[in-house]
Amino acid sequence: MDTKDKCGFMIKQLHDALEKESNNMLRRDGLTMAQVGVLMLLDDTPGQELPLKEIEKYMKVAQSTAAGVITRLEQKDLIDSFGDPGDKRIKLVRLTSRGKQCCKTAEENMNIAEEHLLSSLTETERKDFRIMLGKVRDTIK
C-alpha cells in the first residue's frame, strides 16, 4: 500500500488542511487554534468557568504553556482569571461576553470549514464518517 493511501497519512492531510483553513480565518481576529480551543472548552462548560489545572489537562500541555495562552486571552478581554474564593491557590478562568461572541464566530467558521471538507459526501456518508472517526478517536483516550 502506498504511503498516501494509509489512514494515518490521510488523517494528517485532513488535519493540515483544516488547520490551515482555520488559522487563516482566525488570523483575522488575531487568535490561534489553541486559544479558540480554550474558549470553546469554557463555552461548553456549565457556568463557563474552569480551574487552570483543568485547562492544562484538556490542552495536554505544561502549566507554563497554558498560562501563556490564558494571559493572551485575558489581554484580548476574552476571559477573566481570578482566585477561587474557597482556595486562593486555585486559579479560575471564565469567559467574558466578548469571549462568548468570539466562540459563536469561531463555531460558525468551523461549520463552514467542515462543510467544505465534507462537501463530497452524502448525508448518510457524513453520518457514517463521524461514527467511524469517533470510534478511532476513542481508542486513543
Q: Per the structure, how many domains does the chain have?
A: 1
Long-range contacts of 63-71 (CB under 8 A, 24+ apart): 69/32, 69/34, 69/35, 69/38, 70/38
Taking a C-beta distance cutoff of 8 angstroms, is the pair 74, 126 a contact? no
From 93, 73, 62, select the one nearest 33 (Cα to Cα): 73
pTM (2 decimals)?
0.80
Q: By mean pLDDT, which of 26-30, 51-55, 68-72 is the weakest?
A: 26-30
- pLDDT over 80 at 1, yes or no: no
Residue 15 is inside which H or E element, if any? helix 7-27
User: Which domain, by its residues, includes 77?
Assistant: 3-138
55: pLDDT confidence band, cut at 50, 70 and 90? very high
pLDDT, tens digit (0-9, with 9 covering 90-100), for 59-116: 989 989 999 999 999 999 999 999 999 998 999 999 999 999 999 988 888 888 889 8
Q: Please report, for the domain that includes residue 95, its CATH number.
A: 1.10.10.10
Task: Indicate the DSSP class of residue 30.
Answer: T
- pLDDT over 80 at 140, yes or no: yes
